[in-house]
Amino acid sequence: MQLTGAEIIIECLLEQSVDTVFGYPGGAILNVYDALYRYSDKIKHVLTSHEQGASHAADGYARATGKVGVCLATSGPGATNLVTGIATACMDSVPVVAITCNVGTALLGKDSFQEVDIAGIVMPVTKHSYIVKDVTQLADTIRKAFTIAKSGRPGPVLVDVPKDVTAAKCEYIRHTITAVEPKVDTIRPEDVETAAQMIARAQKPFIFVGGGAVIADASKEVRALAHKIQAPVCDSLMGKGAFSGEDEFYTGPVGMHGTKTSNYAMCECDLLITLGARFSDRVTGDTKTFAPKAKILQIDVDAAEINKNIVVDASVIGDLREVLKLLLEKIPEKKHEEWAAHIQDMKEKYPLNYDHSQLTGPYVIQKLYELTGGDAIISTDVGQHQMWAAQYFKFKEPRTFLTSGGLGTMGYGLGAAIGAKMGCPDKTVVNIAGDGCFRMNMNEIATAVRCGRPLVQIILNNHVLGMVRQWQTLFYDHRYSQTILNDGVDFVKVSEAMGAKAIRVTKMEEVEPALKVALSSEGPVVLDCWIDQDLSVYPMVPAGASLDEVFDEEDVKK
């Protein structure tokens, strides 16, 4: 049948079982929005307050559901406003397809109104980017974009379509889309055998779980491995939920704000089994002293990650779940009772701790965990609140912690929470932000209200840029340059003005009642929780230091 380019875009989205898109219209993309109007019974469009909110919402939708997230934007500034969200998705391996529309092909390259080479701009932060100048190539390009986004190591793809191409007509034949199969052709039996032998010989095995375990849906296999060889387990921000935070073998996060137990175990283990993690600098600290006593086994779908940041002793390249299935068949059940007892002793000796005499971020997060029973999707922005959420909320399932780990994008969380709620309407969704982050995209509260679904926004409001201030306290001799937010912004009034219910919390005894109201509400609720400006995140490893140099608040006092 003959369809316009705009109609072909929508039909291709339906081919891919897309039910929700996030975006903001404009002149160049009007044909697509006109087509979307006629397909509104099949695809729900969420109008965000800013294009960056649309890219973060598509990202959050993808992380929470495991599907490809889709965002739309017009040419010029509409397209460039997506870039931060696209880069965020790229750093954290999130499958997103961004569709932008550009000026007509005759106007390209002439500095036309709202013209920008968005395909070129995003090239470093996408798996692939396209500009489609021929309507007959449009359907196949969009199909390729989805395949690339979700295959192997996932990531974002951008498709840019000039306006005249969206108006042109050509023959369209609907395709049946086949599922993308796990990457197994790179799994070498000899590599699996080597890995099994290393695990069998280890006396102090330690498992490090990264975001690849979430992406591969390998949580069942990760748990089976840990229990079969009695190995403690730590995780990165991206890996949270792939191994339950309530499990007896869990030692907490590792790295700059990891637990003392995880950091010390990393320094003492004789085998580090790394599952879908890329050895970020925030995890490793000083790479020269990282896991100094251990043989390192890395399992990852992306061959480029092997020996990139840390030189390993052995590796298996391929889909993590499929590799673990093969390993579990080969390795014998092992008990490491002395090692397990030592880990348990450290967990008892070095528990996470905070000031219980005043309202703090950890107190709010622990109350949230208690009231939800851990059954919630938590998104965060970036900073102290992000680290407290990772430390004090015990994530039991994958795809329940949405955060910008690689890029560290302030303003990410609220858009991501909206995307998660649209993708998982029956789940409790909570975004935790600092006041500095909330300011960046708080206009998306209006989007949350417009969506008409329950959503909780917690602001841990210390009236400063908390994490930057913490560094200024510890490493810059208390020179608080441009980190004090001493203006008159009232988040309760701002939120109410956008149509949300808002509650200010200033005392510990107000936290539980406010959370109960928020969690039982039928619409968005904002909790503005005022905490002290000098609260810090501990434990901490100074940037570039060895993990065994980890210190906590008691160490600072000493």
How many other CB atoms are there within 10 angstroms of residue 140's CB atom?
12
Name the CA radius of gyration of the chain, rounded. 24
Catalytic residue among 410, 440, 467, 498: 467
Is 169 known to be catalytic?
A: no
Identified catalytic residue from 150, 163, 204, 421: 163
Which three-class secondary structure state does DSSP give residue 20?
A: strand
CA dist 450 and 510 (Å) reads 28
Which residue stretches of 202-256 are H helix? Answer: 211-215, 219-228
DSSP 393: S
- Residue 46: name the closest of 376, 416, 519 by CA: 416
**For 409-553, where are the E strands, in sequence order?**
429-434, 455-461, 501-505, 524-530
Catalytic residue among 114, 230, 344, 533: 114
114 catalytically annotated? yes
Ramachandran angles phi, psi of 450, nearest 5°:
-65, -35
Among 51, 115, 305, 322, the active-site one is 51
Closest CA to 321 of 208, 240, 213: 213
Q: Report DSSP state, residue 127.
A: S
Quote the tokens at residue 122. 């995003």
305 labelled catalytic? no
Known catalytic residue at 51: yes
Q: Is 228 a catalytic residue?
A: no
| The pair of three-digit structure tokens given for residue 424, joined into one six-digit string | 């998982």
Q: What is the spatial distance between Cα 451 and Cα 414, in angstroms, rounded to a whole number?
A: 13
What's the rounded Cα separation, in Å, for the pair 285 and 294?
Answer: 16
Active site residues: 51, 113-114, 163, 467
